Chain A
Amino acid sequence: MNQDKCDSMKNLQAVSFVLDDLRLFLDTHPFEQEALAAYESFKKQRTQVLEEYEKNFGPILSYCVNEENQWTWVDSPWPWEGEV
């Protein structure tokens, strides 16, 4: 298994989780400026990390499948298989 792929997936999981947690906090605290600023900042980070992962290791979102010679959406192992 590819260590770089694992690390890249861990980065994506970590930054996405910050947003998952902040989202719920903001649902009940819609005017908290610090949380709003953090959401904005981590949103930018996630865009970068996601692009990086998809460029190197294949699509996370089917909307982001790049045109290639084959349909890569079903190509790599599924998340539940424990590969990354």
Chain B
Amino acid sequence: MWTYERRLQFPVKITNPNPKMAQLIISQFGGPDGELAASMRYLSQRYSVPYKEVAGLLTDIGTEELAHMEIISAIVYQLTKNLSLEEIKTGGFDAYYIDHTTALWPQAAGGIPFNACFFQSKGDVLTDLHEDLAAEQKARTTYDNILRLITDPEIVDPICFLRERELVHFQRFGEALVRVQERLDSKNFYAVNTELDKPLMKQ
């Protein structure tokens, strides 16, 4: 189960609303490389993983991604708080406003809705860890792209924090991959799926 802590993992306090930025940053909520997809990816993959420390890592990173989703959501929420109709019209937020007013809804910057096809849960720990490594890099690139467009330090600080976490998660998934590879049969390295062909797994 999960327990809610009444706090953000990193503080978000934004003074100046900016609906245009909200519409871009929302991609890290419900976009293809966003935090919702990240969390669902790891929390779905963990069940069939045959190595308990990899299942642990997927659980802990998947949980942290939920906290990141909350940070992104808080940024979007605060960037769109108390907007005037004029700001909605001129800020490029009008199309989103029609469907969701100023509520949070998981979508990409281009308006594409969240979709489970943004991630895989393949039932092969080698395949899944390679997907996870790629996912962390894609999310890092997205944060780099966001950082090129923003100057407000109140938005930059939490985005920088989230970007750095992508690097740490990439490092940890890399270590998990090495741990898995160490336990594979060297004569049948990539043909074995340890989640399906357990007898072939080197103990």
Contact = CB atoms under 8 A, between A and B. Distances in A.
A23 interface: yes
B8 A80 contact: yes
A81 B4 CA distance: 16
A10 B70 CA distance: 17
Main secondary structure of the interface of B (DSSP, over half): helix
B8 A79 contact: yes
A21 B172 CA distance: 10
Interface stretch (B32-40, B56-64, B85-93, B139-147): B56-64
A60 B41 CA distance: 28
Interface in A43-84: 58-63, 73, 76, 78-82, 84
A37 interface: no
A13 B10 contact: yes
Interface string B40-76: 0000000000000100110011001000001001100
Contacts of B175: 28-29
B113 interface: no
B176 to A, nearest CB: 6
A64 B26 CA distance: 33
A16 B10 CA distance: 10
B172 A82 contact: no
Interface in A1-41: 9-10, 12-13, 16-17, 20-21, 23-25, 27-30
Interface of A: 9-10, 12-13, 16-17, 20-21, 23-25, 27-30, 58-63, 73, 76, 78-82, 84
